[in-house]
Amino acid sequence: MKVVVLLGSDSDFEVIQEALEVLKEFGVSFQLEVSSAHRSPERTLRLVRETEAAGAEVYIAVAGKAAHLAGVVAAHTVRPVIGVPVDSAALNGLDALLSTVQMPKGIPVATMGLGKMGGTNAALLAVEILSLGDPGLKDKLLAYRARMAARVEASSAKLRQKL
Ligand code: RP5
């Protein structure tokens, strides 16, 4: 497995569902686990140690509210850690966004935008990181972007037809 996806709670699953499809689309192997920085701190530490020893190259940590998961994971590995803040109800995710992005100097977390958008970008960033050592993945990323650009062009043509 190349990527480890950690969720602070099973209630975060919806946020990362599309991201898992992206990883599958790119043929990137991943391991998905629920582990909380607060409720199961020892399990979180064990998972980071075990998966790094097993060859994990990138971590994606998804958490809401006082979201410490990404920071805790980053504290225990020098592999890149991508944080996805969950947009839960109380503060619309501002709590999780600030908790994830405002890492003190020395322990970086690459923080994505809130919610599903951030989840999908986390998967794409993980693929980009892995593509540094895998030209095949780079080609797939370029093809993915070309498909996106074609969709923009098609949507523009469709809109013009409506006028
Ligand atoms: C965080 O608290 C989790 O990442 C989740 O976003 C939030 C709420 O968790 P549950 O109470 O739904 O399990 O730790």
**pLDDT tens-digit series, residues 74-87:** 999 999 999 999 99
How many A from CA of 76 to the centre of ligand 1? 21
Helix (H) or strand (E) holding 120: helix 115-131
User: What are the structure tokens assigned to 61, written together?
Assistant: 């940590």
**pLDDT tens-digit series, residues 105-162:** 999 999 999 999 999 999 999 999 999 999 999 999 999 999 999 999 999 999 999 9
- How many other C-beta atoms are found inside a 10 Å radius of the C-beta of residue 34? 18
CB 132 within 8 A of CB 79: no
Q: Verify whether ligand 1 is closer than 6 Å to residue 8 (CB atom).
A: yes
User: What are the structure tokens assigned to 62, written together?
Assistant: 């998804």
Span 55-65, average pLDDT: 98
Q: Which CATH architecture has domain 3-132?
A: 3-Layer(aba) Sandwich (3.40)
**pLDDT tens-digit series, residues 24-45:** 999 999 999 999 999 999 999 9
How many A from CA of 88 to the centre of ligand 1? 9
Residue 89, pLDDT score: 86
CB 53 within 8 A of CB 28: no
With CA atoms as reference, report the closest residue to 4 among 74, 64, 65. 74
C-alpha gyration radius of the chain: 17
pLDDT band at 90 (very low <50, low <70, confident <90, very high): confident
Measured by CA distance, the residue closest to atom 6 of ligand 1 is 64
CB 69 within 8 A of CB 36: yes
Q: Distance between CA atoms of 81 and 34, rounded to whole angstroms?
A: 16
* Domain spans of the chain, in order of start: 3-132, 135-163
Measured by CA distance, the residue closest to atom 9 of ligand 1 is 9
Helix (H) or strand (E) holding 82: strand 81-86
How many A from CA of 159 to the centre of ligand 1? 41
With CA atoms as reference, report the closest residue to 84 among 56, 119, 108, 42. 119
Q: Verify whether ligand 1 is closer than 6 Å to residue 86 (CB atom).
A: yes
Q: Distance between CA atoms of 55 and 46, rounded to whole angstroms?
A: 14
How many A from CA of 68 to the centre of ligand 1? 11
Measured by CA distance, the residue closest to atom 3 of ligand 1 is 8
Residue 8, pLDDT score: 98
Q: Verify whether ligand 1 is closer than 6 Å to residue 15 (CB atom).
A: no
How many A from CA of 65 to the centre of ligand 1? 7
